Structure 1
Amino acid sequence: MSDRDPLAPDGLMLFDGVCHLCYGTVRTVMGWDRDGAIRFTPIQSPYGRRLALAHGLNPDAPTSFLFFDQGRPRAKAAGFAALLRRLPRPWRWLSLIDRAPRRLSDAVYDAIASRRYRLFGRHDQCMVPTPAQRTRFVLD
């Protein structure tokens, strides 16, 4: 049986909108994905909270981001690899991280995620997309 949810979004990154590392990742992906294939929603938005809760993430203390790949929610290293596969060349090759043993890649992901505020900082409130970025964000 497939874990694909036909009602789930596709090409959507659910991220921690107060995390500097997460927002930096969003800005980087937006710069690399000039065609706009990947969209974003902060976990602090109404839509982001609903998605997080529906997929077992605590929106008040997220431990991972999610990337929806063909309706399948992918977390941690698998989510990052799925997101990278959607990027245009020459960035797609970075998805090779998916070939590392999952236990190892998720352990590295967890180590960074658990220290992300201490290492990279955080905003007091959720980031607000610029007018040019708004078309790439799903907030409600």
Structure 2
Amino acid sequence: MGTNRKIDYLILYDGVCKFCNRSINFILSHERNAKLTFTPLQSELGQSILRDYNLPLDYTDSLLFMSKGQMSSHAQAAFKIAQFLKAPWRWLSFLSVLPISFTNFFYKLIAKHRYKLMGQADACILPTPATRDRFLE
């Protein structure tokens, strides 16, 4: 899907995590504009990016946010993504002023239990026709 265009903002997510899939749907529903693109960590592109950033190929610890070659993970990725959302959700990005150890503690706590909270999907989410070109694989 649409990998020929310039990619400025990419979110990599666990494609079999229902919590992660719902998070992507939430982002799509609350964006201010359509600047974000998406790919599952398990996709060919996701695997290539994991290799490029020396991350394990089975990495699913957090959403990853790439912006112009810079990679963010855990709470910092969430805060950067929040900047693309409509108010009041974008205001969550102001939490990035808190110590990273504090915000990552809560991020990792939720991430650790996400499969227990919502389970795993058999496959990645299927984008709607309106958002299909924003999913790279």
TM-score, L = length of structure 2: 0.85
Q: Match of 1:133, as an amino acid?
A: T
Please report how far the alpha carbon of residue 52 of structure 1 lies from its aligned counterpart in structure 2 after TM superposition: 2.0
CA distance in 2, matches of 1:103, 1:110: 10
Please report how far the alpha carbon of residue 9 of structure 1 lies from its aligned counterpart in structure 2 after TM superposition: 4.5
Q: Matches of residues 1-140 of structure 1 in structure 2 within 5 Å?
A: 9-33=7-31, 35-139=33-137
Identical-residue share of aligned pairs (%): 35
Contact 1:17 1:23 in 2 (8 A): yes
Contact 2:41 2:59 in 1 (8 A): no
CA distance in 1, matches of 2:95, 2:54: 24
SS of residue in 1 equivalent to 2:83? helix
CA distance in 2, matches of 1:81, 1:69: 13
Please report how far the alpha carbon of residue 104 of structure 1 lies from its aligned counterpart in structure 2 after TM superposition: 1.1
Please report how far the alpha carbon of residue 34 of structure 1 lies from its aligned counterpart in structure 2 after TM superposition: 5.3
Moved more, 40-49 or 120-129: 120-129
More contact order relative to length (CA 8 Å, sep ≥ 6)? 2
Gaps of 5+ in 2: 1-5
TM-score, L = length of structure 1: 0.84
> What do you get for the CA RMSD once the two structures are aligned?
1.9
